[in-house]
Structure 1
């Protein structure tokens, strides 16, 4: 099970939001590239990046920060936020991103997700951000009437590499992940599921690892920055 350290980018800095609110951002580093190196040096095998400004703008905004990370990065990187057309997908993959995460377009333009997954096999993931079981889009600012499991199942035959499932109400709150909902989603689909939101301790990671569902991995952000989780110990516990 892979541990994905998160670097959320806002105005060129590494931040964490509370419940996805851009007005409740805590800055943890003004040098995202240095932060990525610290994560890699601690033993992580992947990085999870989010262009927060891009998620709201609908286009890449923190491109310079992402490129600075890619220049020095020695592990695969997955990136979400503001990726809503084939040109942007191709641009990021050409620049060295290993996997793009498509969120808003998965709801608004699912055909694009299918086309991208066919064109770039193993390089396209679907990001499903949920509030009370329903999907939210546009940087979590807009709620839909689409249920999480229904959206995930609609991509069963699309060839997507993974589903990144985020419980918005848990994200950045240090209150523990929604293990039940994450495990239920993983059991409902054959697509690998990555858990996101609320991981606050090594025990949370172990509970996800041992939840009985075959999770691909878990994303962790604030707890690493706050020191609540030792990354080296977490990587060892997760086994990847």
Structure 2
């Protein structure tokens, strides 16, 4: 199982939100590059970066910081937040991002999402945020009527290879991942590379996800709050 350290960017700072609320922000490092360097020095060559300004405003305010991380450290970055169109995807890939995560776009602009997926299948990640078992979008304020199973099956037909799944109720809570959710997805869609996200609180959580053969996990708040060390996280990548 690959562990992927996370950096959430808001106004050029590394932060974390609680359950996605912009009213509950904790700043962990005023320098995203400094934070990314800690990950790089610990042996991580791939990180997860979310542009929270982009997610809220649709403009890539933090892209210069992401490009600086890539150019200075030579690590690969997957990013999400504010991606609305095929041209956004192309712009980010041309800027040096290795993978682009699309959530709302996959629901609200399926034409451009499918175009992106079909042209760049190895670079596209479906960001599937779940709220009470339904796919949530638009800042988690709306949910799709189509079932998770139906939607994923359709996307696989168009070349989908990778899904980052977040249980919104667990995000930023340090209450433990939704193990049943990830095990069911892995069982029902074994050919999809599944990245778990949300709720990781301890080394035991990582071990349980690893034992369940989950492909990868994003770790954010548990690291920032000192619940898991970088060495513990990196051990899963060996």
Q: TM-score range by the shorter chain?
A: over 0.9
- Aligned partners of 2:210 and 2:151: how far apart in 1? 24
Judge which range, 122-131 or 73-82, deviates more.
73-82
Matched residue count: 237
TM-score normalised to structure 2 length = 0.94
Residue-by-residue CA offset, 1:121-152 (whole Å, 9 max, x unaligned): 31111100111111111232333334333322
1:233 corresponds to: 232
User: Superposition RMSD on alpha carbons, in Å?
Assistant: 1.5
Q: Distance in 1 between matches of 2:142 and 2:31?
A: 30
Change (3 A) 1:239 1:68: closer
Shift of 1:8: 0.7
Moved over 6 A (4+): none
TM-score normalised by length of structure 1: 0.93
Q: Distance in 2 between matches of 1:144 and 1:112?
A: 18
Greater mean alpha carbon deviation, residues 223-232 or residues 67-76: 67-76
2:56 and 2:234 mapped to 1: Cα distance? 32
Q: Which runs of 5+ in 2 are unaligned?
A: none
Secondary structure at the aligned position of 1:28 is classed as: strand
Unmatched 5+ stretches in structure 1: none
Do the aligned partners of 2:69 and 2:75 also contact (CA within 8 Å) in 1? no
Q: What is aligned with 1:59? A: 59
Equivalent residue, structure 2, for 1:199: 200
- Structure 2 distance, partners of 1:143, 1:58, is 19
State how far apart, in whole Å, the 2-side matches of 1:82 and 1:118 are. 20
After the TM superposition, which residues 84-99 of structure 1 pair with which residues of structure 2 at under 5 Å, given as runs?
84-99=84-99
Q: Is the 8 A contact 2:85 2:113 kept in 1?
A: no
Distance 1:142 1:71 in 2: 37
Q: Distance in 1 between matches of 2:141 and 2:51?
A: 15
Q: What corresponds to 1:44 in structure 2?
A: 44
Q: CA deviation at 1:81?
A: 0.6
Report the more deviating stretch, 112-121 or 196-205. Answer: 112-121
How does 1:76-225 map onto structure 2 within 5 Å?
A: 76-189=76-189, 190-211=191-212, 214-225=213-224
Moved more, 38-47 or 165-174: 38-47
Superposed CA deviations along residues 157-187 of structure 1, whole A, max 9, x for unmatched, are 2223310000111011000000110111122
The SS at the match of 1:154 is helix
Distance 2:203 2:45 in 1: 17
172-181 or 114-123, which deviates more: 114-123
| Cα distance in 1 for residues equivalent to 2:22 and 2:143 | 16
